[in-house]
Amino acid sequence: MKSEPGLSWIRTLWPFGVGVFGWFTGILGAVCGWLARNFLGKSILEFVKVRQEIQKELTYLSNVDLPSSQTFCEGTAADYEEEVRIFAEARGKVRRLGSKLSALNTSFYRPLSYLLRILGYKIDDAAKNLLRLSAEFEDDDRALSLYQIEVALRLPHSDKKLAKSIIEHRERRLEEAAQSRKTETDQSS
C-alpha cells in the first residue's frame, strides 16, 4: 500500500502530537478544576454550612419566647433575669446568623448568585428576615418572619398554617382599611 505523499508527516508526528495534546488538556483540566473548586465550590460549601447552621439554630431556638409578665409578677427576680438572658442570647444568635448570611451573599460571585436564585434560594430575603426576627417582639411577627426565612432558604416549614392565617388576616385588615379610607373620602367629597 502506498501512502499519500502529503500526509506522511502526520504519521511521523502523530505520537508526539497526541502526547503534547494530552499533556496540554491535562493541564487545562487541572486549571479549570482548581478555578471551579476555589471560586464556586468553596462558596457553595460555605452557603450549605450557613444554611445548616441557620436551620439548626432556628429549630433549637423555636421555643424561646419573650420573658413572660407572669414570671415578672409571680416569680423571683432571678427567674425573670434568666428568661431575659435566654431571650437576649437567642436574639444575638439570630442576628449573627443574619449578618453572616448577608455578608456571604455580598461575597458571592455573580454566576453563583444567579445559580442560587435559579435554584429557588432568596438569600437577601432570608438575611433581612433573620435580622428582622432578632428585633421582633410580637408573636405573630416572629412567626411570620420565621416562615419567610424558611421559604427563602427552602427549609422545612415549622408552622405553615399559622403563617398563612397571619398573612390572610393582615391582608383582610389592609383591605378593610382601604375600604374605610375610600368611604371616608367619598363621604367628605
> Taking a C-beta distance cutoff of 8 angstroms, is the pair 90, 113 a contact?
no
Is residue 33 pLDDT above 60, yes or no? Answer: yes
**Sequence letter at residue 129:** N
> In the structure, how many helices (H) and strands (E) does the chain have?
8, 0
> Cβ atoms within 10 A of the Cβ of 94, count?
27
User: For the segment 97-154, what is each residue's pLDDT rounded down to a tens digit?
Assistant: 999 998 888 877 677 778 888 999 999 999 999 999 888 888 788 888 888 999 999 9
Q: Is 121 helix (H, G, I), strand (E, B) or coil?
A: coil
Position 66 scores a pLDDT of 73
- The pLDDT, as a whole number, for residue 22 is 66
pTM: 0.68
Average pLDDT along the chain: 81
